Structure 1
Amino acid sequence: MALLVRPLHVFRQLEQTEPAHKLPWFKRLTWASELCGSPRGIGWHHQVSSLETPDTTKSRKEFVLSRLMSAAKYYVWFDFGLFYMKHNPVFTSPAAFVSQTKFIHRALDCSVYMATNYCMVNIILASTTALMVSCTSAEPSSFPHVFGKWEDAYTIRRFWGRTWHQFLRRFVTPLGKNIASFLGFKPGTSGSSYTQLYTAFFFSATIHLIGDTVLNPSRPGISCPFFICQAFAITFEDMVIAAARRAGVKETKWTHVLGYVWVFSWFIVTETPWTTAVNMSGLANGGQLLPEYFPPSLCNILVKFII
């Protein structure tokens, strides 16, 4: 997708003085490797604006310690989730997982499963960041947090645009703008905005389709409905917000609370069947709900020691 937008002409580093297509061959190769190594555009003009940048007043030592503490915090939650799953018979076999008929129970189990994997990603990246900054000349400013603030997620649009990782934005944003331009929509118009929105989620669904195929070649595309639905939900959400503003409703902490309830409810309804389908697809192809590489649960060890 990056090749569809002429990357040598579109992308530019902050300190770059000469266009990339005019650089010598070896410098262009280095430039391209740095572009590929920064999917969120850190240090580039297309850097995602919503990224939570590290505190520049901290020393390198303070930064490393803060990331190690963050990794430890996420590991505690990861371990709680692991303990729950290892003692829940639903996670012992495909038959047990399928036999769960109550939606609220399945929603809880799928949420714990997703939260555990979310914590695992944060543990790995926080630890890697601490290692990179402590052992190399890399600057802390090059390592903003992978995920944004959860308090920003009071709409579905803000969840995907601020709270969730932005690894695909560098690819889909220029492509969405080009498609909007091709269709005749001027920048800043609703037509351009929604063309970019649907383009982004269409290509996100396409990328996850590839993952579905790797997981189970006989069941490709099981993730697509989940991602396509997000664009429709954001469109509906925008209509409701616009109507509320015309009615004189002001943005307050209570509208934010209502937004949190809406976002939470939406993902309970849509994420649960998606996670169930993905897990069942993997199990049908010989996968496991609890991979063997998961470490022993410290909670489990502690409980056995106490008992």
Structure 2
Amino acid sequence: MEMSHIAQTIFRSLVPLPQDRITLTWNNAHYASVHMLPVAMLAYLVRRRNTELLRLALLPLTVMMSVRCTFGYSNPTTPETFLLNWLRGLAGLSAIALALDCALSSTSRMKLGETPKELPPLFGSDNPEASPTSPWWAEILEVQLTFRGIGWNFGKGVYIHPEHRPMEFRPFVLSHLRTYIKGYLAIDAVQAFFKYTPGLGAPYGASIWNATLPPYQRYVASTLVHIMCGAVIQFGLEMNYSLATIVAVTVFGQSPAAWPPVYGNPWKSKSVHDFWAKQWHQLLRRNFMVFGGIPGQWLAGRVGAVMGTFIASGLFHEFGLYLVGRGMDHRVTLFFMLQGVAILMEKVFMVFTGHRVEGWTGRIWTYMWILGFGQLMHGCLAF
């Protein structure tokens, strides 16, 4: 009992109860962000040779600081701060994933064609050719902001969508500007639709299932809400990705080829595997592999890798939501776990029949898992 009490005390010192969190203000924002210093140090060390022990020694402090800084502070829980709190939670978990990745793997942040021997040592350089090709601060930013692993060895196997935009500078920038404007208008239209459509303008936190409607209309309405929530996520991410692309290309002079499309066409998915591996964004892929896919593969091979990745995805989204003040609700975790089950079922189908899940039947199958079981995630509205 004493050990349990000590463990609970330590846990609550890192993850306070919602009512014990410190309200985030401009005056304490630097305290809530100080964990990024050791994360940045790990990002620097992973690009230096023979730093394995130093990275391992820094890992516990980095994780504890990231947990405390993320979950110890929050904005007041209101509809206006819902998204901001959720994104803070996801950012904190992403920082922990990056810290684990940098500390536990000696090759996780190698560029294609590089070997560990080609990296410079921590101090000085015993080989002029091993010197970094960019300033130390630029290397840190590159390690922290390379999500899909394009040009890096950890991005091996990630699907890159075929380019459909003009690659000349001016048309490329204008294309992303149009995407940003369309995304902004689409999200505004969805919010207005929820607010002014009878039966959908539910209070903040209300269920998506309107008990006053007949069963058929109730599930039609909930499916519509689910689709629009997914559209908001896609439009919002594409909008911000376009903004980042414009800044990178115009201000920092990066090549348009370094910013391939972030989404495919989810509506044309031929299978659940096609949806998650190709049509949906891959920005958080490495996080899920670090938290669940790689440990799962160690434990149970390919099946463990698939299930571990999707369970980690569910917990990642759910722990991110913990900052919005609603406690834990593992329906989100259940939904993502079922996606792993669906992908394994598709693999079994291919083994026994010799054919992949595809065509119009595959599309219906995919819609069932995404639009049907997906409504488990939306037990309450965030609008």
TM over 0.5: yes
Quick check: 1:141 aligned with 2:257?
A: yes
The Cα of 1:16 is off from its aligned counterpart by: 4.1
On the 8 A contact 1:68/1:126 being kept in 2, the answer is yes
The Cα of 1:92 is off from its aligned counterpart by: 3.9
- Matched residues in 1 for 2:360 and 2:165: separation? 32
Larger RCO, structure (CA 8 Å, separation 6 or more)? 1
Partner of 1:123: 239
Partner of 2:142: 34
- Matched residues in 2 for 1:25 and 1:45: separation? 25
AA partner of residue 253 (structure 2): S
Q: Which among 71, 75, 100 is matched to residue 210 of structure 2? A: 100
Residues 131-280 of structure 1 mapped to structure 2, 5 A cutoff: 131-150=247-266, 153-173=269-289, 176-177=293-294, 179-180=296-297, 182-183=298-299, 192-245=301-354, 255-277=358-380, 279=381
Root-mean-square deviation (CA, aligned residues, Å) is 3.2
Partner of 1:64: 173
Superposed CA deviations along residues 160-179 of structure 1, whole A, max 9, x for unmatched, are: 11111212322444663465
The Cα of 1:51 is off from its aligned counterpart by: 1.5
Shift of the 272–242 alpha-carbon distance from structure 1 to 2, 3 Å rule, reads same
Alignment length, in residue pairs?
266
- Matched residues in 2 for 1:95 and 1:138: separation? 42
The Cα of 1:88 is off from its aligned counterpart by: 1.7
On the 8 A contact 1:72/1:123 being kept in 2, the answer is yes
> Normalising to structure 1: TM-score of the pair?
0.73
AA partner of residue 196 (structure 1): A
Partner of 2:112: 14
Superposed CA deviations along residues 68-91 of structure 1, whole A, max 9, x for unmatched, are: 222234345334423322222322
AA partner of residue 112 (structure 1): M
Runs of 5+ unmatched residues, structure 1 = 184-190, 280-288, 291-307
Partner of 1:297: none
The Cα of 1:126 is off from its aligned counterpart by: 1.2
Partner of 1:52: 161
> Normalising to structure 2: TM-score of the pair?
0.60
Q: Which region of structure 1 is more displaced relative to structure 2, 29-38 or 109-118?
A: 29-38
Superposed CA deviations along residues 14-60 of structure 1, whole A, max 9, x for unmatched, are: 36465476533596775454222111112212225311264797222
- Matched residues in 2 for 1:95 and 1:58: separation? 44
- Matched residues in 1 for 2:262 and 2:256: separation? 13
Partner secondary structure for residue 35 of structure 1: helix
- Matched residues in 1 for 2:137 and 2:247: separation? 26
Partner secondary structure for residue 378 of structure 2: helix
Q: % of aligned pairs identical?
A: 19
The Cα of 1:196 is off from its aligned counterpart by: 1.1
- Matched residues in 2 for 1:57 and 1:119: separation? 20
